[in-house]
C-alpha cells in the first residue's frame, strides 16, 4: 500500500480586506416574522433581514481595488466609450472571439441570441437546462432537450465531469427531429443545475466534432467558463501545466459564439456579453441590441461598468483567485461531511447543493422539500440559500403540470471574495442544527404562482 501523505499545506485568499460592510444579526422571532412576510420564499426576503447571504453568486461579488479604481475612469460618452474598446480587446484576448456586443446581463444576451438563431418548432439540446437560458429558448419557439450524461442526475455519483454531454442522447434527438430543426447545441460549464459540475475538454472536442459532421452550430454559455477551465486543469490528463487562460481559450475555440453573465466569473455587480466568430450573427445582434439594451457600444451599461468588467476579466483567470474561491466551497463541503449531511458530490465550483430529498425524506415532492429546507435554515440562523427543485423546474408548457425534476436541492452559493471561513463555520453549524431536528419539519403549500420563473416570486404557507 502506498504511504499516505499526512502533511498538507492549506491555502488562503490571495487578497486582504480593505473595506467592510456591517451585517445584521437577528433573533428567531425576527426571522419567523420576516419568513412569513416573504411567503417562505428566500427570494422575497429583504436583504437587511439576512445574516449570511448565500442566495446567489450572481452580481454579489466584492470588486478589487483595481476594479473600483476603474469605476472612476468611466468614459460616459453615449457612443464609442473608451471603456467599451478596452473591454472588446479583452473579449478577444480571453475568449478568443473577434466580435462582441455588450448587454446589461446574461439573460439579455440569451434573449438576443435565442431570437436570432431559433425558429418556431426548433429543438435546442443542452447539458441540462438553466432557468433563464431555457425560458428564452422557449419564448423564441424552441423545445429544450436535456442531453447531459445520466450521472449528472445522480447526486451521489462522483464522476469528475458530470457536466458532459451524452453524445448518444444527442444523436438520438438528431435522428428523430433532423439536424435542420436544431439551430445549435448549447453547452454550459460548470453546470449550475447539476451542482456546479464541469464538462471535460475531451467531451467538448467530441461534441464539436459531432456537430461539425452534422452541420449543427455549437454555442457556449460561458458564464462560469473559468471555473470549468480550473477543473479541467485540476482533473483532466494533459492540462495540469496549462494556464487557466490557455484552457479557457481552447474551450472557446470549439464554439461559434458564446454569452456570459459578467455577474459571475468577471466579479462585477452587473453586465453581460455576447461574442462570436460569426460576422452575420454579430451584425444581427449589434442591430438588435439598439432596440432592447442601448447603443452597441454600451448595451445597457455605464462606461464605468464596462471598465470594471474588463479589469475583472484579467482577474478571473488568475489561478490563485479561482483556487481560493473553489477552496472555500470545498471547505464548506468537508465540514458538512463531518455531520453526515447529504449533498451533491463531487463538491461543485460555486455552490454546495444540499440534497433535500435525503434531508427530508418524509416530505413529498409536491410539498416542496427544498423550498422547505431553505426556509428552515433561514429560520434557524438567518443564512439564506435557495430552492433548486420542483419550484425552479416550473410547469411543462404543453401539459401545464409540474415538472418533477430528479434533483430536489437547496443551493448555498458563495459570493466571490465576500465571506470568511468563520462565516462558513457558522453556516455549517446552523445546517447541522436543522439536520438534528429534521423529523419535526413539515412541508409547504403554494398559495401564489406567477407565470414565468415562479421560484422568484412564488409564495408559500406552512402545512
Ligand atoms: C446567471 C446565469 C445566467 C443568466 O445571467 P443573468 O446575468 O443573471 O441574466 C445564464 N446562464 C448561467 C449559467 C448563469 O449562471
**Is 49 among the domain residues?**
yes
Q: Do 49 and 125 reside in the same domain of the chain?
A: no
**Is 394 among the domain residues?**
yes
Q: Do 307 and 371 reside in the same domain of the chain?
A: no
Atom 12, ligand 1: residue with shortest CA distance: 223
356 touches 373 (CB < 8 A): yes
- Among the listed residues 131, 133, 276, 297, the single catalytic one is 131
Q: Do 195 and 311 reside in the same domain of the chain?
A: yes
Ligand 1 pocket mutation, candidates 109, 126, 129, 264, criterion most atoms within 8 A of CB: 264
**Is 76 among the domain residues?**
yes
Q: Do 279 and 417 reside in the same domain of the chain?
A: no
CA 65–ligand 1 middle distance (angstroms): 25
Contacts of 370 (CB under 8 A, 6+ apart): 354, 356, 387, 388, 389, 390, 391, 408, 409, 410
- Report whether residue 323 contacts ligand 1, using a CB cutoff of 6 Å: no
221 touches 130 (CB < 8 A): yes
Ligand 1 pocket mutation, candidates 106, 148, 194, criterion most atoms within 8 A of CB: 106
Q: Do 372 and 405 reside in the same domain of the chain?
A: yes
- Walk along the chain (463 residues) and give the pLDDT tens digit of each residue: 556 666 678 888 999 999 999 999 999 999 999 999 999 999 999 999 999 999 999 999 999 999 999 999 999 999 999 999 999 999 999 999 999 999 999 999 999 999 999 999 999 999 999 989 999 999 999 999 999 999 999 888 999 999 999 999 999 999 999 999 999 999 999 998 888 999 999 999 999 999 999 999 999 999 999 999 999 999 999 999 999 999 999 999 999 999 999 999 999 999 999 999 999 999 999 999 999 999 999 999 999 999 999 999 999 999 999 999 999 999 999 999 999 999 998 998 999 999 999 999 999 999 999 999 999 999 999 999 999 999 999 999 899 999 999 889 999 999 999 999 999 999 999 999 999 999 999 999 999 999 888 999 999 999 9
Instruction: Determine how many CB atoms are found less than 10 A away from the CB of residue 411.
Output: 27
Q: Do 184 and 233 reside in the same domain of the chain?
A: yes
Q: Do 248 and 361 reside in the same domain of the chain?
A: no
- Among the listed residues 95, 99, 130, 255, the single catalytic one is 130
Q: How far apart are CA 345 and CA 334, in angstroms?
A: 11
- Report whether residue 130 contacts ligand 1, using a CB cutoff of 6 Å: yes
**Quick check: is 388 catalytic?**
yes
Count the domains in the chain: 2
Instruction: Determine how many CB atoms are found less than 10 A away from the CB of residue 166.
Output: 19
Q: What is the CATH number of the domain that holds 240?
A: 3.40.640.10
**Is 329 among the domain residues?**
yes
Q: Do 116 and 158 reside in the same domain of the chain?
A: yes
| Grid cell digits, residue 362 | 418524509
Q: 449 to each of 6, 137, 401, 462, how far by Cα in Å?
A: 53, 22, 13, 16
Q: Which structural domain, as residue segments, surrounds residue 202? A: 65-316
CA 40–ligand 1 middle distance (angstroms): 24
Question: Where does 304-423 show beta strands of DSSP type E?
Answer: 351-355, 383-384, 386-388, 409-413
**Is 15 among the domain residues?**
no
Ligand 1 pocket mutation, candidates 130, 197, 220, 456, criterion most atoms within 8 A of CB: 130
| Grid cell digits, residue 447 | 398559495
Q: Do 294 and 374 reside in the same domain of the chain?
A: no
Handedness of CA 42, 43, 45, 48 (dihedral sign): positive
**Quick check: is 78 catalytic?**
yes
Nearest one of 333, 362, 354, 349 to 407, comparing CA atoms: 354
- Among the listed residues 264, 325, 411, 454, the single catalytic one is 264
Q: What H or E segment, with its residue span, contains residue 260?
A: strand 257-261
Q: Do 279 and 392 reside in the same domain of the chain?
A: no
Q: Do 248 and 100 reside in the same domain of the chain?
A: yes
Q: Do 132 and 170 reside in the same domain of the chain?
A: yes
**Quick check: is 255 catalytic?**
no
409 touches 344 (CB < 8 A): yes
Q: What is the CATH number of the domain that holds 330?
A: 3.90.1150.10
- Among the listed residues 78, 339, 448, 452, the single catalytic one is 78
- Report whether residue 132 contacts ligand 1, using a CB cutoff of 6 Å: yes
- Report whether residue 57 contacts ligand 1, using a CB cutoff of 6 Å: no
**Quick check: is 84 catalytic?**
no
- Report whether residue 114 contacts ligand 1, using a CB cutoff of 6 Å: no
**Quick check: is 130 catalytic?**
yes
Name the one residue in this structure whose C-alpha cell is 454559455: 221
Q: Partners of 352 in the beta sheet? A: 412
Amino acid at each position: 500500500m502506498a504511504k499516505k501523505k499526512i502533511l498538507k499545506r492549506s491555502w488562503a485568499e490571495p487578497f486582504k480586506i480593505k473595506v467592510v460592510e456591517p451585517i445584521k444579526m437577528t433573533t428567531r422571532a425576527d426571522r419567523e416574522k420576516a419568513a412569513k412576510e416573504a411567503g417562505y420564499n428566500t427570494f422575497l426576503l429583504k436583504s437587511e433581514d439576512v445574516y449570511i447571504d448565500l442566495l446567489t453568486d450572481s452580481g454579489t461579488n466584492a470588486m478589487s481595488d483595481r476594479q473600483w479604481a476603474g469605476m472612476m475612469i468611466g468614459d460616459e460618452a453615449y457612443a464609442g466609450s473608451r471603456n467599451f474598446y478596452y473591454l472588446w480587446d479583452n473579449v478577444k484576448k480571453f475568449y478568443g472571439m473577434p466580435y462582441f456586443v455588450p448587454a446589461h446581463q446574461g439573460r439579455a444576451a440569451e434573449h438576443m441570441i435565442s431570437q436570432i438563431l431559433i425558429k418556431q418548432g426548433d429543438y435546442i439540446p443542452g447539458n441540462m437546462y438553466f432557468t433563464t437560458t431555457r425560458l428564452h429558448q422557449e419564448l423564441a419557439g424552441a423545445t429544450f432537450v436535456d442531453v447531459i450524461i445520466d450521472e449528472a442526475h445522480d447526486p451521489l455519483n462522483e464522476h469528475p465531469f458530470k457536466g458532459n454531454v451524452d453524445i448518444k442522447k444527442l444523436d438520438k434527438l438528431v435522428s428523430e427531429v433532423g439536424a435542420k430543426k436544431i439551430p445549435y447545441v448549447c453547452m454550459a460549464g460548470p453546470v449550475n443545475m447539476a451542482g456546479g459540475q464541469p464538462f471535460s475538454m475531451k467531451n467538448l472536442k467530441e461534441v464539436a466534432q459531432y456537430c461539425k459532421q452534422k452541420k449543427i452550430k455549437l454555442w457556449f454559455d460561458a458564464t462560469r467558463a473559468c471555473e470549468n477551465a480550473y477543473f479541467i486543469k485540476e482533473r483532466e490528463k494533459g492540462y495540469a501545466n496549462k494556464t487557466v487562460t490557455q484552457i479557457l481559450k481552447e474551450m472557446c475555440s470549439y464554439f461559434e459564439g458564446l454569452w456570459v453573465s459578467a455577474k459571475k466569473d468577471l466579479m462585477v455587480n452587473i453586465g453581460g456579453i455576447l461574442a462570436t466568430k460569426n460576422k452575420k450573427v454579430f451584425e444581427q445582434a449589434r442591430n438588435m441590441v439598439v432596440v432592447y439594451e442601448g447603443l452597441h457600444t454600451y448595451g445597457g451599461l455605464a462606461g464605468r461598468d464596462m471598465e470594471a468588467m474588463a479589469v475583472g476579466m484579467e482577474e478571473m483567470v488568475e489561478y490563485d483567485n479561482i483556487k481560493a474561491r473553489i477552496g472555500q466551497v470545498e471547505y464548506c463541503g468537508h465540514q458538512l461531511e463531518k455531520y453526515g449531511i447529504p449533498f451533491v458530490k463531487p463538491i461543485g465550483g460555486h455552490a454546495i447543493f444540499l440534497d433535500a430529498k435525503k434531508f427530508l425524506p418524509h416530505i413529498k415532492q409536491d410539498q416542496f422539500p427544498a423550498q422547505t429546507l431553505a426556509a428552515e435554515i433561514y429560520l434557524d440562523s438567518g443564512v439564506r440559500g435557495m430552492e433548486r427543485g420542483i419550484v425552479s423546474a416550473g410547469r411543462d408548457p404543453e401539459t401545464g403540470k409540474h415538472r418533477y425534476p430528479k434533483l430536489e436541492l437547496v443551493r448555498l452559493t458563495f459570493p466571490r471574495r465576500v465571506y470568511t471561513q468563520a462565516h462558513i463555520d457558522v453556516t455549517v453549524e446552523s445546517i447541522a442544527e436543522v439536520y438534528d431536528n429534521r423529523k419535526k419539519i413539515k412541508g409547504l403549500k403554494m398559495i401564489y404562482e406567477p407565470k414565468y420563473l415562479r421560484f422568484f416570486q412564488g409564495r408559500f404557507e406552512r402545512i
